[in-house]
Amino acid sequence: MIKRAINLFLPFSNTHQIQEWRKRYDPLYALIPPHITLVFPFESEHPSSLLKKHVQQIAHETSSFSIQLQGITGTIEQYLFLRVVQGNDLIIHLHDDLYTSVLLPYLNRQYFYAPHVTVGRFEQREAFKQALIETEGLNQVFQAKVDRIYVEQIDHHGKSIIESVIFLAD
């Protein structure tokens, strides 16, 4: 079984700021770059070629688009999210389209999908509350063009290894 996920890795000009927050608040900081998850981690025996073909079919029907992220919010599960404020609907559309065909069995409908970049994860409620206070006034804007989708393998240490890069239509 191979563990994989499908993500958007975005070329923000100010990615260093996101990385500063992640270094402080996210234990996965060193394992995967800042990203928006389109298909959450799943384990399968699907060959790379089958998965790549599925993603290519979706990508070729989707034009590249711009997104903007701004503002940090918390979740009940004690995560800190950098919010998508422009391009949200297009990302949701990609997410929904990818969870068809060979990926349909991996869709977990008990979770609401909200595009975001995770900047923090907490086990302790007090640390989470403190991080919410510390990030309250952070309003930097992060802009990027979404023009490719990444299929990654996740190794046994949790490290991201890019398996395929699939470009969107232009």
Q: What is the pLDDT of residues 45-54, one digit of tens each?
A: 999 999 999 9
Residue 137: band (very low, low, confident or very high) from pLDDT cuts 50, 70, 90: confident
Specify the number of domains making up the chain: 1
- Write the DSSP symbol of residue 77: T
Here the CATH number for the domain that contains residue 111 is 3.90.1140.10
- In angstroms, the CA 33 to CA 8 distance is 10
CA distances from 116 to 52, 74, 157 (A): 24, 11, 23
Chain mean pLDDT for the chain: 95
Neighbours of 65 (CB within 10 A): 16
- Write the DSSP symbol of residue 168: P
Look at residue 74 in the predicted model and tell me its pLDDT: 95
Q: What is the CA radius of gyration of the chain?
A: 16
pTM greater than 0.85 (yes/no) = yes
Q: In what order do the strands lie in the sheet with 116-121?
A: 116-121, 79-86, 65-74, 141-146
- Residue 45 DSSP SS3: coil
Q: Give yes or no for residue 34 having a pLDDT over 90.
A: yes
Structure tokens at 34: 């800042």
Q: Which domain holds residue 138?
A: 2-167
